[in-house]
Chain A
């Protein structure tokens, strides 16, 4: 599980107390280590729902946000009924170790749109954008 292009719901917790459920697209499923300190086995891009005009106006102001329409996602079963427009935060890479999180695969992003996301990320990089690395402290290698 957690393959490139998957859409996951990740259940984030702090001290075993839930702090929320957030949807991510798997950007890359190759294991590695961030700065020699934090182990990971996939990288996710956070997806923010854009279901109101106010949210859309706010989200599209950010240079690193990439718009996703409901048709760009292939969601399974009950999730299709809740399919909404969204924005991917393409300039923030979240590093996860799937053995240390709770997650649920709810669908996939279409390969054509995923290609556009990669092109968008490369354009941001060419413009000189410095990407943020978001790490989970529990993945620290001692």
Chain B
């Protein structure tokens, strides 16, 4: 019997046979390009500022 929800047919999972091992999301997606660019911030320079008690970072993004 075909089951539908809001016009969408539901898969009968009892008909499906699965592989013995599961796969992690990381492994499955590692070679799949992103649909949007990934913004990465990279630290290119680190300078200690003793007078102001801080560390100054130079970044590229």
Q: How large is the interface on A (under 10, 10 to 19, 20 to 34, 35 or more residues)?
A: 35 or more
Known contacts A5-B6, A46-B32, A49-B35; is A19 also within 8 Å of B11 by CB?
no
Which of B8, B12, B15, B29 meets A12, CB within 8 Å? Answer: B29
Interface, chain A (partner B; CB < 8 A): 3-5, 9, 12, 14, 18-23, 27-28, 34-35, 38, 46, 48-49, 92, 94, 111, 114-115, 118, 121-122, 125-126, 128-137
A32 to B29, CA, bound (A): 22
Are B18 and A133 in touch, CB under 8 angstroms? Answer: yes
| A20-B38, A22-B32, A48-B32 as given contacts; A4 in contact with B8, CB under 8 Å | yes
Q: Measured between alpha carbons, how far is A134 from B18 in the docked complex, in Å?
A: 11
Which chain B residues border A128 with CB–CB below 8 Å?
Answer: 17
A-B contact count (CB 8 A): 104
Interface of B is mostly: loop
Q: How large is the interface on B (under 10, 10 to 19, 20 to 34, 35 or more residues)?
A: 20 to 34
List of B residues within 8 angstroms of A18 by Cβ: 38-39
Are B35 and A12 touching (Cβ within 8 A)?
A: no
* Cα(A138)–Cα(B23), bound, Å: 13
Once the chains bind, are A14 and B34 in contact (CB under 8 Å)? no
**Neighbouring B residues of A132 by C-beta, 8 Å:** 18-19, 22-23, 28
User: How far does the Cβ of B12 sit from chain A's closest Cβ, in whole Å?
Assistant: 8
